[in-house]
Amino acid sequence: MFETLKPLPPDAILGIMTLFRADPNPGKIDLSVGVYQDEQGRTPVLASVKTAEKAILEAQDTKTYVAIAGNPGFNAGVQELLYGRNHPALTAGRVATVQTPGGSGGLSVAGHLLARSKPGARVYVSDPSWPNHIPLLKMSGLELDTYPYYDYARHRVDFDAMIGKLDKANAGEIVLLHGCCHNPCGADLSHEQWEALTQLCEKRGLVPFIDLAYQGLSEGLDEDAYGARLMASRLPEVVVVSSCSKNLGLYRERVGAASFVSASAEAAKLVAANAANVARGIYSMPPDHGAAIVSHILHDPKLREQWVGELKDMRNRLNGLRKLLVDKLTARKTPLDFSFIAHERGMFSFLGITKEQVIRLREQFHIYMVESSRVNIAGINHGNVDTIADAIAQRGADDSPADLQEVIDSLTLGYKLEQQMDAFRMFKAVGFTDQ
């Protein structure tokens, strides 16, 4: 049977990781893997998490299943994080939440529920977007289209083009949005743009589907939920998927949630039952440990305060590293203007250099990044930032592009190819051989 399986193309990021590990150079630098790292290059366990884990282990007296919808305390805590304690959607009982195995599990549950609600529904995904959005939603049974999002020439959201495309969408169609810290470009919507987008969804009858994987890592917990809270207060139906991988460092615990805002409390009960039924058919029961940690932290005032402080330190570090890198590059008088990096948010940005230049940084300077030039800002530290800046500056002096369009063309093509290869690999893995 298994002999019918076909080889799959390598994962773009895993391929870079393999090259990095094989490099014997002691000064090599990894800017590819999308996890938070501290100044020592570690992905730390937060002190608040360790304290919560200790308390849980001491008190736990069973390993039986949790409910299909997950930990009730976790779900309630997530709702408050997303919408705020007194949000009108919460007070009206319009929100249903299920715990999921990570944000990816939340995307899958939400995608399947949306497809069940409206078979063949179209979802619009930003271009660019996180590559795994495409196979996850396609496998849910949704039809996919894209809308322009990032202006590679000006390094900012191309909002006019985005609105122009979505203004042609039909009522009941779905718009996938990044709540904050856009992955991969780091360019986020302003409050004014969120307002305009909400008005458009009202006018066209569109359903927002918000991926909020990085809440707290841009401007703050409340600030980063601005778009989700605005839309939930104005629109009858909103879907929000959230993750605790990044803001609590619980990557391997797989802790996420799918929250559904419905038009009424009665509709929310119907959604809750169907979301649990979808989850049952995908993975049966969610894991316990990670959600128990989050619930304990969110419901213990002292631990919650400690976590908020740790999250603030992570956020300030990322934003500080952005400014530091820009300052270092500016001081070296590089031919390209990198100031946009300081204004973006989260862990990712495109450097805006060509694939050939990325390869040269890897082969000559032992600096590893995805060939689209997407870098993980958290991979920078005070010990390697000068090395990175020197390498980029030397690359620019010795191998500068003929013009800006060359950079833009290379960047857009590189990232689209990465997305296509990741999607193709996932489709093949589940039998979509004609994709």
What positions carry a catalytic annotation?
A: 130, 211, 246
Dihedrals φ, ψ of 266, to 5°? Answer: -65, -45
**Residue 374 contacts residue 13 (beta carbons within 8 Å):** no
Rg over CA atoms, the chain? 22
Task: Kindly give the pairing relationship between strand 374-376 and strand 348-350.
Answer: antiparallel
CA distances (Å), origin 359, targets 183, 232, 327? 22, 44, 24
Residue 179: closest CA among 106, 116, 121: 106
d(CA 85, CA 98): 18
d(CA 98, CA 154): 39
Tokens of 416: 């689209």
Which conformational region is residue 172 in: left (phi greater than 0), alpha (psi within -120 to 50 degrees), or beta?
Answer: left
* One-letter amino acid of 146: T
